[in-house]
């Protein structure tokens, strides 16, 4: 695997902001940028119809179940298996396409399918249930229709329906529970704060103060929804960024440690080894060539 991660941007000028492409081993082999780790500026839903490859998502190996969907968030690093044969489709869409107002944004930001804080959520896979297949077929058919003033609205509604149906299939959110909805909103606000401040602020109390909740309440919320404590969520994000930087840059480990807010290089090394079982150098060697 190459050390350099290829960033792929969406060509908004030639597309609506949503498309479906057929993928298999030959397709991946024919695209040079797919033969290395990639980070996309858009969201991806992979439907593996045939085969059981091992897909790498943010350096976590995911063994694919045949006829299942894999949800990969924006800016998440992924890598296609070059060894196992597979056939399927990729549905690509941008947040600009899906979210046209604050209501859309609120719904999508709370969607657990693309939650990249918790690894289990970041690699959400679900069996391709009949309702999902039907909606996917409708999206594909509409994409093949001539463009008109109705198409983007129809596609957006279909995509919303697909995501809601997929989320219901996971059984992880009770949309009729007002208490769960309130807890989910707290968790998403915590997630957003982590994203902005995880390099500078490591104490959980910093975030609970901003959220105006106690550590006990935040812990109950996070463990109840994703099974992780607030501290573990912070650690997950720090480690994810450390892994990305170790593979994506040639900076020394101590430089990465400083960038992540560790005042002493040895503190970063101990922190990383305690949580991964490897030193930063060992991790970099595992996921880069040469």
Q: Whole-angstrom Cα distance, residue 272 to residue 251?
A: 16
Residue ranges and CATH numbers for the domains of the chain are: 6-170 (2.60.120.280), 178-290 (1.10.10.60)
Q: What is the model's pLDDT at position 176?
A: 43
Q: In which residue are the tokens 């983007």 written?
A: 152
pLDDT in tens, the chain (290 residues): 444 667 777 776 557 899 999 999 889 888 877 877 888 888 999 999 999 898 988 878 888 989 999 998 887 888 888 888 999 999 999 988 888 776 676 667 666 677 654 544 445 677 888 999 999 999 999 999 999 999 999 999 999 999 989 888 876 544 444 556 688 788 888 988 998 999 999 999 999 999 999 999 999 998 887 778 999 999 989 998 898 888 877 889 999 999 999 999 899 999 999 999 999 999 888 776 54
Both tokens assigned to 188: 């998403």
* Spatial contact of 51 and 87, defined as CB atoms under 8 Å apart: yes
Q: What is the model's pLDDT at position 234?
A: 93
Q: What is the model's pLDDT at position 2?
A: 43
Both tokens assigned to 157: 């509604």
* Spatial contact of 236 and 119, defined as CB atoms under 8 Å apart: yes
pTM greater than 0.75 (yes/no): no
Q: What is the model's pLDDT at position 122?
A: 46
Q: In which residue are the tokens 């997950």 written?
A: 236
Q: What is the model's pLDDT at position 171?
A: 64
Both tokens assigned to 205: 């109390």
């Amino acid at each position: 695997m190459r050390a350099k991660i290829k960033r792929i941007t969406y060509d908004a000028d030639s597309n609506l902001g949503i498309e479906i492409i057929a993928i298999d081993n030959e397709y991946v082999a024919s695209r040079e940028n797919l033969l290395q780790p990639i980070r996309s500026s858009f969201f991806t839903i992979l439907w593996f119809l045939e085969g059981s490859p091992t897909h790498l998502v943010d350096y976590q190996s995911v063994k694919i179940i045949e006829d299942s969907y894999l949800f990969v968030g924006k800016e998440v690093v992924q890598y296609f298996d070059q060894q196992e044969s597979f056939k399927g489709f990729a549905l690509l869409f941008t947040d600009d396409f899906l979210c046209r107002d604050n209501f859309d944004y609120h719904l999508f930001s709370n969607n657990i399918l693309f939650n990249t804080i918790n690894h289990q959520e970041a690699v959400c896979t679900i069996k391709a249930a009949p309702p999902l297949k039907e909606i996917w077929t409708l999206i594909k058919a509409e994409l093949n229709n001539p463009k008109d003033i109705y198409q983007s609205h129809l596609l957006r509604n279909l995509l919303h329906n697909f995501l809601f149906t997929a989320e219901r299939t996971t059984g992880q959110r009770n949309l009729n529970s007002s208490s769960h909805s309130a807890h989910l909103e707290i968790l998403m606000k915590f997630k957003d704060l982590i994203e902005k401040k995880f390099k500078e602020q490591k104490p959980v109390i910093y975030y609970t103060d901003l959220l105006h909740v106690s550590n006990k309440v935040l812990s109950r919320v996070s463990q109840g929804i994703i099974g992780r404590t607030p501290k573990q969520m912070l650690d997950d994000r720090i480690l994810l960024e450390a892994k990305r930087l170790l593979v994506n840059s040639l900076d020394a480990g101590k430089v990465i440690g400083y960038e992540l807010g560790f005042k002493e290089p040895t503190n970063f090394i101990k922190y990383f080894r305690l949580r991964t079982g490897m030193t930063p150098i060992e991790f970099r060697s595992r996921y880069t060539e040469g």
